[in-house]
Amino acid sequence: MFYRLSGVYHSSLISDSRMFKVPADRNLAVFLLLIGLAAPFILPSLYLNSYILPWLIWTAAALGLNLVTGWAGQLHLGYAAVMAVGAYSAIHTVRLGVPWEIALIIGGLAASVIGSLFAFAALRVKGLYLALTTLAMQFVMDWVLTHSPTISGGSHSSLQAPTLALLGQQITSDAGYYYVALGWCVLVTIFMLNLKRTGLGRALVAVREKDFAAAILGVNSFYYKILAFAASSFIAGVSGALLVATFYFLAAPEQFSVNVSIQVLAMVIVGGLGSIIGSYFGVALILLVPGLVNGLVVTASEELGMQVNVETLAHIPNAVYGALIVIILMIEPLGLGKLYGNIRDYLMTWPFDQLRK
């Protein structure tokens, strides 16, 4: 309908390697970006900062995990630990008087170093064993965080993040926080879109699909796995730091605990392994749907005049969203990104879809 392949011709190799080859996709992306930029003027700041902002930062984080799990095919159950490394190193760096811009990069690099160190040990094993090794890494980080007061500010305590300041500008307004989150998410998305069309992305997919075939093409699988872990950990580190700086404001060990790791992995899998738009959907589902269902249940019970006790109210959203995950993965194992792709492909040929086999 709005999508059309016919009439779209690429007459040069540069135009054939564009980020969005179909004009409709490009227009949609520009439109969404404009909405994103205008959001502070449209949405009340409660919605903006308690829903949209975490959605954007978690999407950036999920894209980082997608890089290592979706692209390079390495299961990672310690992702929250890597985010924690980034968050704590960035905050401590800022507390030492270093500007935020540099602190964010240091946080990312610290996460990158720790993440790839663990990967070094972990990459001797594959599949489930790798998952378990990364899980162990998560527990080690948890333990370190809760047991070293110099890092976490002590057991059961939290670390205050200094006020965010970028380019010499103190950021304290809700819109300011939002724009920082949006900027980071856009940067990571652009990186991932570029990954789709460069040799690095192809090499990672090669390593994921058939490592012996990758080897005969000259792809050193070990090197590219480490590279994937390093790049993904960098994204995790900066995302973790920004999450604390713009959303939590206090860093506490339980914000980066093992169930957070599993939640990010769920976001990536429900969204679709190797799908960029899917990560947006996946994060939205896991982050926003429970609250949404909660609101619906409350409204419905008030409308119908039914008494719902607090316990039921707490469990219904969890049950609904658990069921949603199961249903989505049963309909389309490749996740929400693939579902979106199916609709897009259908519209691409509509109303001539009967001509296709």
Partner 1 sequence: MTTLSNKPILECTGIERRFGGIVAVTGVDLVIQRGEIFGLVGPNGSGKTTLTNAITGFYPPNEGTVRLAGKNITGTAPHKVAKLGVARTFQNLALFNGMSVLDNILLGRHIHMHPGVFRTAFYWWAARPEEVQNRKIVEEVIEFLQLESIRYELVDGLPIGLKKRVELARALVAEPQMLILDEPMAGMNQEEKGYMSRFILDARDERGVSVLLIEHHMDVIIGICDRVLALNYGEMIASGIPKDVVKDPRVIEAYIGGSHG
The footprint of partner 1 (CB under 8 A) covers 13-14, 16-17, 191, 194-195, 197-203, 205-206, 209-210, 212-221, 227, 230-231
Looking at the Cβ atoms of 157 and 220, the one nearer to partner 1 is 220
CB of 200 to partner 1, least distance (A): 4
CB of 265 to partner 1, least distance (A): 20
Looking at the Cβ atoms of 193 and 262, the one nearer to partner 1 is 193
CB of 343 to partner 1, least distance (A): 19
CB of 247 to partner 1, least distance (A): 25
CB of 229 to partner 1, least distance (A): 12
Looking at the Cβ atoms of 218 and 351, the one nearer to partner 1 is 218
β-sheet bridge partners, residue 169: 166
Looking at the Cβ atoms of 311 and 357, the one nearer to partner 1 is 357
Report the distance separating Cα 165 and Cα 173, nearest Å. Answer: 11
Looking at the Cβ atoms of 127 and 295, the one nearer to partner 1 is 127
Which single residue is written with the structure tokens 């900062």?
49
| DSSP codes of every residue in 217-249 | TT--HHHHHHHHHHHHHHHHHHHHHHHIIIIIS
- Least Cα distance to 66 among 223, 219, 283 occurs for 283
Alpha helices in the chain (DSSP H): 13-16, 23-42, 45-47, 53-66, 79-95, 100-122, 127-147, 149-152, 174-195, 199-209, 211-216, 221-243, 258-271, 276-304, 310-331, 335-349
Report the distance separating Cα 247 and Cα 239, nearest Å. Answer: 11
CB of 111 to partner 1, least distance (A): 14
Looking at the Cβ atoms of 156 and 210, the one nearer to partner 1 is 210
- Least Cα distance to 325 among 291, 277, 295, 281 occurs for 281
